[in-house]
Amino acid sequence: MDFKVPQLGICKIKSPLQLSKVQGDNIYDYIRDDERILYDTRLESYMQWIKDGTLPLSFEKAGPKEYLFFNPSKIKAAIITCGGLCPGLNNVIRSLTYTLHYRYHVPEIIGFRYGYAGLNPEYNYPKVHLTPELVKNIHLMGGSFLGSSRGNQDTGIMVDTLVHEGINILFCIGGDGTLKGVQALYEEINKRKLHVSVCGIPKTIDNDINFIEKSFGYETAFTIAHDIIRSAHNEATGAFNGIALIKLMGRDSGFIAAAAALSIQEVNFVLIPEMTFDLHGEKGFLEVLKNRLLHRQHALVVVSEGAGQFFFENMNMKHDASGNVKYEDIGLFLKDNIQSYFKMLHFPISMKYIDPSYIIRSAPANANDSKFCNQLGQNAVHAAMAGKTGFVVGYWNNQFTLLPIPPTVQQRKRIDLESGFWYNVLEATGQPVSLKN
């Protein structure tokens, strides 16, 4: 797999950062072009590479470079946010603006409103001139200061807008669909032989971007879910045979549900998109849930929004503006089936159903996510100023990395049901390894 990040040209302009190239002088060193981060750090893999005489898979290390491609004083940068809302969007906008202004002294920074639609003159959305004074407090708020939108726009028209506005660097903050848009922009810009850098900053609370250890917003999401689950647990234990069912975000990956359950240690069942399960039968979910109530008189169930979609396979699939399949509501499906099942058994229950999804994604970033967003923004600026393009800023083995777009959008990152992480969840919940007959 090719992890080579595209480069606009030779870097000849000395960086204004005044960092070091000498170890031991207590000054941060510039990142060399040959510094890379290993994908697999296991000893057995290392021994196999030696045996095969091959180079291990690795990612380019992110960070400030000694020489730049762009002259900071003569460029114009722009920022957009795309897709659904996510904790930390404003933190990244602020970090990009501060780094461009204070570290590189870029004279003009533009915010295009409402995602890729802001690059289409047809909508006539007003631009925002971003300054440190304007963005100094936006990190304290949830949502996106620039607004967001879903859906594709004509790539040619968007590149025309960048050319017309004199944009040299475009930062695109978003998830899988946004990164595919970054790749399309890169290809069109490359075809026109333009010196414009397009950069992706990964945003998804689902934490499902491939080859990236974590994306911003994810930690805030499961932290808020932790508090909601605690309250739901109080509801469940407050009634005889109380059941609390919580639906959390997670279209194709169940990281939020799994991490939240692992963090609070009160959840009894976690149902995620990566697993299949039966409703009925001796080992099916409803029978196991009944046995839980017989023994403990309460149960707490957390389900990811993308779980159990196999129950709806015969229904007509619909798509949203970004081309994603609109999933059926597994939360309401489970609620109805739980109530029907126990009614049929004449088994009294007290049912509470909670869907906090949009509250979670609109919240401000927590402290650790805020720190992470700031670092993502800084590393995106460093890479773009050095002429990197068609890339996304990643995070792997506790290091910030740069990756070309294609590998990150080939497939979604998902929970490995044979991983230690999922086993930890099973230990915390006490649910069976399988809910299949």
Catalytic positions, please?
Answer: 206
Tokens of residue 23, six digits: 């170890």
How many whole angstroms separate alpha carbon 245 and alpha carbon 274?
19
Tokens of residue 371, six digits: 């720190």
How many whole angstroms separate alpha carbon 290 and alpha carbon 422?
23
> CA of 254: how far to CAs of 76, 103, 132, 380, in Å?
39, 38, 37, 28
Query: Where does 49-107 show beta strands of DSSP type E?
Result: 58-61, 67-68, 76-81
Number of other CB atoms surrounding residue 375 within 10 Å? 16
CB within 8 A of 220, min separation 6: which ones? 87, 88, 205, 360, 363, 364, 365, 366, 369
Q: Is the dihedral of CA 191, 197, 198, 202 positive or negative?
A: positive
Output the DSSP codes for 285-303: HHHHHHHHHHHHSEEEEEE
Tokens of residue 351, six digits: 């049912």
Tokens of residue 152, six digits: 């594709």
